[in-house]
């Protein structure tokens, strides 16, 4: 049974009720983070088009700790059920094309009639307003990277741009949604006034581009793709090692540059390498020389040895890890990064543990991803519907249930 009273009590968000609808990653992942921290998350799934993520094993991780209601929420009966659900909810999160819920007659104002303190989160590719030809467009991760100026910056200058994988835009957007929803709930709980959050994928991605966007807006500087090394300063990027593996080295700030200059045998404080250097650009006297020395050094030994030697003198460096390396790495094991849980079908499934860790009110994994409509009866009985009413909703096609993953 998964009635409301059966949901475990844990985490910092115990007692928070989240209702969401959407598919794939950008919207649902925001709700999933809340579920890992103890929120009671109810996922409304479309009976006609179940979540596309169900075709991938990712469903088990990105929908864990949730209850599901497979409901046609734009039908008359579905709208009535949604109203009941949102009456006691703290957050309603939806991801769709811009303005979709308003076109369905489910405006923010109507939702606030049902619950004045409700925090509403709209996630879309291009936002809820703006140029009409863009607002209604569909979007996915890499499309948003293209429109949000992120894609243009990744890759090599003599080749086409390369999307950043996997799904950085979706996950950035989800984390913005999570943070915005939490701040709005904090205010709503003090004032009784809800909020509506309009989050466009491309805007979330644009916001995390740091100085690149600022350099253009303020100084007209256009960043060029620079491959696997930093476009502005030397000795920051991917370096191949003697064993065919790679390390990533980052050098920025006076202490790090001093350590690297001395480590590679150069004279710190010379004209080529002035004392107090924060960064050495590609057009500086010593920059290209230092970079080539680091290239040669990395090619002289295996990746693990390079990683250990550079970190020993305070130079940030990591082996470029893959999942096979991570699965046996002692630090991953010590932190409990990978864990396992049981699917609702009773099988053991491995994935990434709850992030972040909390000392006093830790998150936990209490359930795998539910099957389609698995919790229909339990959720509707909590809302006061009788067995006959629920049966009629199935007969009308308003509800759906399936044992498929």
Residue whose tokens read 């909590």: 382
DSSP output for 218-242 = HH-PPP---TTB-SSBSS-EEEE-T
Instruction: Write the CA distances from 1 to 66, 128, 376, integer angstroms.
Output: 13, 38, 11
Q: How far apart are CA 226 and CA 283, in angstroms?
A: 14
Is the bond into 250 cis (omega within 30 degrees of 0)?
Answer: no
Q: Is 170 a catalytic residue?
A: yes
Q: How far apart are CA 273 and CA 267, in angstroms?
A: 7
Active-site option among 170, 236, 375, 382:
170
Rounded to 5 degrees, φ, ψ at 342 are -95, 135
Find residue 200's DSSP bridge partners.
Answer: 124
DSSP output for 308-350 = HHHHHTT--EEE---HHHHHH-HHHHHHT-EEEEE-TTS-EEE
Q: Are 42 and 54 within 8 A, CB to CB?
A: no
Q: Are 261 and 268 within 8 A, CB to CB?
A: yes
Q: Are 287 and 234 within 8 A, CB to CB?
A: yes
Q: What sign does the dihedral 84-101-148-52 (CA atoms) show? A: positive
Catalytically active residues are 170
């Amino acid at each position: 049974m998964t009635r409301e009273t059966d949901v475990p009590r844990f985490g910092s968000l115990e007692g928070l009720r989240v209702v969401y609808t959407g598919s794939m990653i950008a919207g649902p992942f925001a709700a999933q983070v809340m579920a890992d921290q103890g929120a009671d998350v109810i996922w409304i799934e479309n009976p006609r088009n179940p979540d596309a993520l169900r075709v991938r094993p990712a469903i088990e991780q990105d929908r864990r700790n949730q209850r599901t209601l497979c409901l046609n929420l734009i039908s008359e009966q579905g709208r009535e059920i949604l109203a009941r659900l949102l009456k006691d909810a703290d957050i309603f999160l939806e991801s769709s094309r811009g303005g979709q819920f308003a076109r369905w007659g489910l405006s923010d104002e109507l939702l606030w009639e049902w619950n004045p303190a409700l925090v509403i989160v709209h996630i879309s590719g291009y936002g809820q307003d703006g140029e009409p030809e863009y607002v209604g467009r569909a979007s996915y991760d890499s499309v948003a990277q293209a429109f949000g100026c992120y894609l243009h910056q990744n890759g090599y200058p003599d080749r086409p741009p390369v999307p950043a994988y996997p799904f950085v835009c979706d996950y950035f957007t989800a984390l913005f949604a999570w943070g915005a929803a939490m701040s709005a709930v904090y205010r709503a709980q003090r004032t009784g006034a809800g909020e509506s959050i309009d989050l466009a994928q491309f805007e979330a991605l644009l916001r995390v581009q740091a100085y690149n966007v600022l350099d253009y807006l303020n100084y007209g500087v256009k960043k060029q793709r620079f491959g696997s090394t930093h476009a502005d300063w030397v000795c920051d990027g991917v370096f191949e090692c003697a064993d065919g593996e790679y390390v990533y080295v980052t050098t920025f700030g006076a202490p790090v540059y001093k350590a690297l200059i001395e480590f590679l045998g150069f004279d710190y404080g010379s004209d080529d390498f002035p004392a107090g250097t924060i960064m050495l650009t590609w057009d500086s006297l010593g920059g290209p020389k230092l970079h080539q020395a680091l290239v040669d050094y990395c090619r002289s030994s295996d990746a693990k040895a390079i990683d250990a030697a550079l970190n020993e003198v305070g130079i940030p460096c990591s082996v470029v890890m893959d999942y096979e390396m991570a699965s046996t790495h002692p630090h991953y094991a010590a932190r409990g990064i990978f864990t396992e849980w049981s699917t609702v079908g009773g099988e053991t499934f491995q994935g990434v543990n709850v992030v972040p860790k909390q000392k006093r009110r830790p998150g936990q994994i209490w359930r795998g991803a539910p099957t389609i409509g698995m919790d229909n009866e339990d959720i509707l009985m909590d809302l006061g519907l009788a067995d006959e009413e629920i049966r009629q909703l199935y007969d009308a096609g308003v509800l759906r249930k399936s044992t498929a993953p």
